[in-house]
Amino acid sequence: MADTMKLSHINTPPAQTWNYLHINDVSFDVPVAEEHGAAFNRLPRIFDGIECGLGDEACGWIVASSAEARYIEVPAHTRRDEPIVIDIVAENGTVADTGVCVREGAEATIVVAVSATLARDALSAALTRVLVERNAVLHVVEIVAAGGAYRHIEGLGIDAAAGARVDVSQYFLGGARVAAGMAANLAGDGATFELACRYLVGAGELLDINHVVRARGRDTREDMIVSGMLSDGASKTLRETIDLIHGAKGSQGNEAETVLLAGENIRNKTLPVILCDEDDVAGNHGATIGAISPEQLAYLSDRGLGPDEAAALFMRSIFDDALIHAPEPVSAAAVALRAETVLGAEVSRDSLETLDIDFFKEV
């Protein structure tokens, strides 16, 4: 049985605030990383400089704890149709350290899927760092759908050069304690970044997110939309930071968050931050937190859906959205499996059929 240690300052945002709010970080108890031999397979040094939102402490632990780092290169001007899949089976306590280089003008998709079939307590982690070179295109889909007593630490770090286009879709569908950090460095002129994050936090679950976008290049675009739902007993912290750095002239950043409070005993913490020391930029953020609006409830009621059904509808929409965006079988299966537990087998199967998800169809 390995010794445990505490990672105390995971997910600290670039600008912190009053400590009594307990919103500056989250902690995790993790097994102490075993010593590795000299032949320990690490990523090329260049990945060390890529911020991932989790913070140095957590990143360092993941690198030290992963059995072997995996490096994938997507050659220049090629389009890699087959997604790079990082498959985390939660009950195995996997810790994955992956580095990807998407060379100039290339296009690739990365999928991180965290799922669980057995009901156990385990800790898994995935750190994915990506270099996106000039005019390359990167799609990332992260699905964390463990549930039960599982705990997971998820890190994503992206470095985008001039003209790079990056989009990230994140779905947090379950887990007793999940910390997710994401940092995108838009270093080159004209780089663009889009993030769509959806989550569902259930009874007794804790979801802690830290999104950071650094706009360094000129004329960059960064858009982050986060939308989620908290059920009874859910606990969630979201930190979104857009950092408009001196020199990023012409850049525009937007953050929008919507939280649906759909239960009792919820704890919702939000810290949407804009940091700015450049005048020729535009930064906006908006957050809406609350229950389903009376207007929406009235409309749905006119269509035969009472308040409970309305909540269930919103919940289902998160899974459906995840299914639509799951680009390959492993991620789709992770969503479907989790949907079965949360929505019930019938609804889950119905989604698969309605959305025509054919990964599992009998050949």
Partner 1 sequence: MARTQVQDINQSLYDFVMPEVGAERYADGLTPDIVRAISKKKHEPAWMLEMRLQALELYQSMEMAPNWGASIEGLNMDHISTYVAPNAKRTNSWDDVPDEIKETFERLGIPEAERETLAGVGAQYDSEIVYHNMRESVADQGVIYTTIEDALTDPELEPIVHKYFGKLLPMIEHKFSALHYAVWSGSSFVYVPAGVTLPFPLQSYFRLNAQGAGQFEHTLIIVEEGGNLHFIEGCSAPKYNVANLHAGAVEIFVGDGAHMRYSTIENWSKNMFNLNTKRSTVGKDAHMEWVSGSFGSHVSYLYPSTILAGDNSDCEFTGITFAGATQDLDTGCKVTMNGKNTNASINTKSISKDGGINTFRSSVIIGPHAENARASVSCQSLMLDDMSRSDTIPAMDVRCASASVGHEATIGRISDDTVFYLMSRGCSEGEARTMVVNGFANPISKELPMEYAVEMNNLIKLEMEGAIG
Binding-site ranges for partner 1 (CB under 8 A): 12, 15-19, 21, 23-24, 244, 246, 249, 259, 261-291
Task: Using the minimum distance from each CB to partner 1, give the nearer residue, 138 or 230.
Answer: 230
Going by C-alpha positions, the residue among 173, 174, 193, 194 that lies closest to residue 185 is 193
Task: Using the minimum distance from each CB to partner 1, give the nearer residue, 9 or 103.
Answer: 9
Cβ 282 to partner 1, closest distance in Å? 5
- Measured at the CA of 180, the angle between CA 11 and CA 83, to 5 degrees, comes to 140
Residue 345, CB half-sphere, CA atoms under 13 Å: how many?
Answer: 0
Provide the Cα torsion 17, 18, 21, 22; round to 10°: 70
Cβ 351 to partner 1, closest distance in Å? 26
Cβ 273 to partner 1, closest distance in Å? 5
Cβ 334 to partner 1, closest distance in Å? 29
Cβ 12 to partner 1, closest distance in Å? 8
> Are 227 and 261 in contact, with CB atoms under 8 Å apart?
no
Task: Using the minimum distance from each CB to partner 1, give the nearer residue, 44 or 306.
Answer: 306
- Write down how long the chain is: 363
Task: Using the minimum distance from each CB to partner 1, give the nearer residue, 309 or 358.
Answer: 309
Q: Distance between the two ends of the chain, CA-based, in angstroms? A: 44
Cβ 231 to partner 1, closest distance in Å? 10
> Are 125 and 153 in contact, with CB atoms under 8 Å apart?
yes
The string of DSSP codes covering 183-215 is EEEE-STT-EEEEEEEEEE-TT-EEEEEEEEEE
Cβ 41 to partner 1, closest distance in Å? 35
- List Cβ neighbours of 218 (8 Å cut-off, separation of 6 or more): 189, 190, 247, 248, 249, 250, 251
Report the alpha-carbon distance of residue 51 to residue 47 in Å, rounded: 9
Going by C-alpha positions, the residue among 132, 93, 85 that lies closest to residue 112 is 85
Q: Is 37 helix (H, G, I), strand (E, B) or coil?
A: coil
Task: Using the minimum distance from each CB to partner 1, give the nearer residue, 62 or 271.
Answer: 271
Task: Using the minimum distance from each CB to partner 1, give the nearer residue, 35 or 264.
Answer: 264
Cβ 10 to partner 1, closest distance in Å? 14
Pairing of strands 95-102, 69-74: parallel
Task: Using the minimum distance from each CB to partner 1, give the nearer residue, 312 or 355.
Answer: 312
Task: Using the minimum distance from each CB to partner 1, give the nearer residue, 41 or 284.
Answer: 284
